Amino acid sequence: MLEFTVPGLSNADSATLADTLQKRLTACNDLHLTLKHVHWNVVGPNFISVHEMLDPQVELVRGYADVLAERIATLGGSPVGTMGANADHRSWDDYSLGRDTAQAHLGALDKVYDGMIGDHRKAIAVAGEVDPVTEDILIGQTAELEKFQWFVRAHLENAAGSLPTTDDASEKGAARSATA
Ligand SMILES: [Fe+2]
């Protein structure tokens, strides 16, 4: 339980918000490391465009982690950002591709963003029940994450507007579909 929180919110509601924000903080920390991992491991003809496309995403997602962590502290909570805690607290596995082509990584990243954005939207719904300030932070981040996913998807989309990865649940499945 929190000892204090911002004016106008109950300690119990802020504890719920802090828990929700912690999950998104863990996800952001995982995502910016995953994006660097892809930045380092992408190979093939489109290497430079994907390699360079990812660094601005890394910087912004690192910034989102900072905003989320500082919101937790503002609410009276204690954000956790250490590597071991990140690994212990997440409900998903490590990114599954190593050295691979640009199309394979982009297919897999489409699935990474599916999970990231879906969970950010769930957090918006939780925050929207009690705190429009936290909700506003999450809404702004989600809009940018959705734009990043469009950057990824624009490399996968065909002229008819369909995505090869739509029916894939896994990163490896999406990587296969993207390179078929
Ligand atoms: Fe680099």
One digit per residue, pLDDT tens: the chain, 180 residues?
799 999 999 999 999 999 999 999 999 999 999 999 999 999 999 999 999 999 999 999 999 999 999 999 999 999 999 999 999 989 999 999 999 999 999 999 999 999 999 999 999 999 999 999 999 999 999 999 999 999 999 999 999 999 999 999 999 999 999 998
Compute, in angstroms, the gap from residue 37 CA to the centroid of ligand 1: 10
Residue boundaries of the structural domains of the chain: 11-179
H helices within 97-168, ranges in order? 102-130, 132-154
Compute, in angstroms, the gap from residue 112 CA to the centroid of ligand 1: 20
Compute, in angstroms, the gap from residue 56 CA to the centroid of ligand 1: 11
Compute, in angstroms, the gap from residue 61 CA to the centroid of ligand 1: 15
- pLDDT confidence of residue 1: 76
Amino acid at 101: T
Query: Residues 118-140, buried b or exposed e (16+ Cβ, 10 A)?
Result: ebbeebbebbeeebeebbebbee
Compute, in angstroms, the gap from residue 43 CA to the centroid of ligand 1: 14
Look-up: residue for tokens 């981040």?
A: 141
Compute, in angstroms, the gap from residue 128 CA to the centroid of ligand 1: 37
Compute, in angstroms, the gap from residue 39 CA to the centroid of ligand 1: 7
Compute, in angstroms, the gap from residue 65 CA to the centroid of ligand 1: 20
Closest CA to 68 of 145, 148, 171: 145
Compute, in angstroms, the gap from residue 104 CA to the centroid of ligand 1: 19
CATH of domain 11-179: 1.20.1260.10
Compute, in angstroms, the gap from residue 99 CA to the centroid of ligand 1: 15
Compute, in angstroms, the gap from residue 53 CA to the centroid of ligand 1: 11
Q: Is the pTM value of this prediction over 0.85?
A: yes
